[in-house]
Chain A
Amino acid sequence: MAVQTVQNNKVAELDIFRPSRSLGAEAWSRLIRNKAAVTGLIIITIFTFIAIFASVIAPENPLQINAGKRFLPPPFFKGSTNIKSESQFLLGTDSLGRDVLSRVIYGARISMVVGFIPTFIILMMGTFIGMIAGYVGGRLDNILMRLTDVIYAFPDLLFFIIVMVALRESFIGRLMNGLILLFAALAIVNWVGVARLIRGQVLSLKEKEFVEAARCIGATDFRIMFRHILPNSLGPLIVSAAFSIPGLIITEAILGYLGVGLRPSTNPADIFITSWGVLMLDGQSAINAQPFLLLSPAICVALVVLAFTFLGDGLRDALDPRMRGTQ
Chain B
Amino acid sequence: MVTYFIRRLFWLFPVLLTVSLVTFIIMRSAPGGPWDTDSERRQVDASTTKSLNAYYGLDKPLWRQFTAYVFGDTNDVSHKFVCGMVCGNLGPSYRQRGRSVQNILFEAPPQQTFWQSRFGYSLRLGVAALAFAIIFGIPIGMMAALKQNTAWDYFGLFIATSGISVPSFVLAIFLIIIFGSWLHWIDIIVDNWIELKYWIMPATVLGFGTMAFTARLTRSAMLEVLRQDYVRTARSKGVAEQFVVLRHMLKNALIPIVTILGPALAGLVTGSFIIETMFSFPGMGRAYVQAISQRDYSMIMGTTVVYALLVAVANLSVDLVYVFIDPRIRLEE
* B-binding residues in A (CB < 8 A): 1, 4-5, 8, 137-138, 146, 149-150, 152-158, 161-163, 165-167, 169, 193, 196-197, 200-201, 203-204, 207, 209, 232, 235-236, 238-240, 242-243, 246-247, 250, 253-254, 257-259, 277, 280-281, 284, 287, 294, 298, 301-302, 304-306, 309, 313, 316, 320, 322
Give the most central of B170, B213, B236: most A CB within 10 Å: B170
Within 8 A of A (CB), among B155-173: 157, 160-162, 164-167, 169-170, 173
Least CB distance from B247 to A in Å reads 17
Chain A to chain B: the 3 pairs with minimum beta-carbon distance, closest first: A153-B308, A235-B220, A166-B30
Is the CB of B40 closer than 8 A to any CB of chain A?
no
Asked whether A207 lies within 8 Å of B263 as measured between CB atoms, the reply is no
Least CB distance from A45 to B in Å reads 19
Asked whether A150 lies within 8 Å of B19 as measured between CB atoms, the reply is yes
* In-complex Cβ contact of A137 among B27, B166, B309, B332 (8 A): B332
Least CB distance from B183 to A in Å reads 17
Report the stretch among B42-50, B184-192, B196-204, B225-233 that lies at the interface: B225-233
Chain A residues with Cβ below 8 Å from B169 are 257, 280-281, 284
Asked whether A1 lies within 8 Å of B15 as measured between CB atoms, the reply is no
Chain B residues with Cβ below 8 Å from A153 are 15-16, 19, 307-309, 311-312
Least CB distance from B176 to A in Å reads 10
Asked whether B167 lies within 8 Å of A253 as measured between CB atoms, the reply is yes
Which A residue's beta carbon lies closest to that of B216? A239
The 8 A CB mask of B275-313 against A (1 = contact, 0 = none) is 000000000000011001100000010011001110110
Known contacts A8-B229, A204-B329; A155/B322 CB under 8 A: no
Chain A residues with Cβ below 8 Å from B29 are 166-167
Least CB distance from A173 to B in Å reads 11
- Provide the main secondary structure of the chain A interface: helix
Asked whether B292 lies within 8 Å of A149 as measured between CB atoms, the reply is no
Asked whether B15 lies within 8 Å of A302 as measured between CB atoms, the reply is no
Total residues of chain B contacting the partner, CB 8 A: 68
Is the CB of B260 closer than 8 A to any CB of chain A?
yes
Asked whether B165 lies within 8 Å of A149 as measured between CB atoms, the reply is no
Asked whether A236 lies within 8 Å of B217 as measured between CB atoms, the reply is yes
Chain A residues with Cβ below 8 Å from B209 are 247
Asked whether A156 lies within 8 Å of B220 as measured between CB atoms, the reply is no
Bound complex: CA A243 to CA B270 (Å): 20
Asked whether B315 lies within 8 Å of A235 as measured between CB atoms, the reply is no
Known contacts A246-B164, A254-B274; A200/B256 CB under 8 A: yes
Which A residue's beta carbon lies closest to that of B220? A235
Least CB distance from A20 to B in Å reads 20
Is the CB of B177 closer than 8 A to any CB of chain A?
yes
Is the CB of B267 closer than 8 A to any CB of chain A?
yes
Bound complex: CA A303 to CA B19 (Å): 38
Least CB distance from A322 to B in Å reads 5
Asked whether B161 lies within 8 Å of A309 as measured between CB atoms, the reply is yes
Bound complex: CA A284 to CA B274 (Å): 12
Asked whether A158 lies within 8 Å of B288 as measured between CB atoms, the reply is yes
Asked whether A162 lies within 8 Å of B255 as measured between CB atoms, the reply is no
Bound complex: CA A112 to CA B119 (Å): 36
Asked whether A156 lies within 8 Å of B267 as measured between CB atoms, the reply is yes
Bound complex: CA A44 to CA B117 (Å): 46
Bound complex: CA A210 to CA B15 (Å): 37
Chain A residues with Cβ below 8 Å from B22 are 150, 154
Asked whether A284 lies within 8 Å of B173 as measured between CB atoms, the reply is yes
Beyond A149-B312, A158-B300, A257-B169, 20 extra complex contacts between A and B, CB < 8 Å: A138-B332, A152-B315, A153-B15, A153-B311, A155-B267, A157-B273, A157-B289, A158-B303, A166-B30, A196-B263, A200-B322, A204-B326, A209-B229, A235-B224, A236-B220, A242-B164, A243-B216, A259-B293, A277-B167, A309-B216
Known contacts A154-B308, A161-B289, A162-B292; A146/B11 CB under 8 A: yes
Which B residue's beta carbon lies closest to that of A162? B26
Asked whether A201 lies within 8 Å of B256 as measured between CB atoms, the reply is yes
Known contacts A158-B303, A200-B256, A302-B165; A149/B315 CB under 8 A: yes
Asked whether B170 lies within 8 Å of A284 as measured between CB atoms, the reply is yes
Bound complex: CA A193 to CA B292 (Å): 25
Chain A residues with Cβ below 8 Å from B15 are 146, 149-150, 153
Bound complex: CA A137 to CA B167 (Å): 38
Bound complex: CA A277 to CA B229 (Å): 45
Which B residue's beta carbon lies closest to that of A166? B30
Known contacts A153-B307, A196-B259, A242-B164; A165/B233 CB under 8 A: no
Least CB distance from A260 to B in Å reads 9
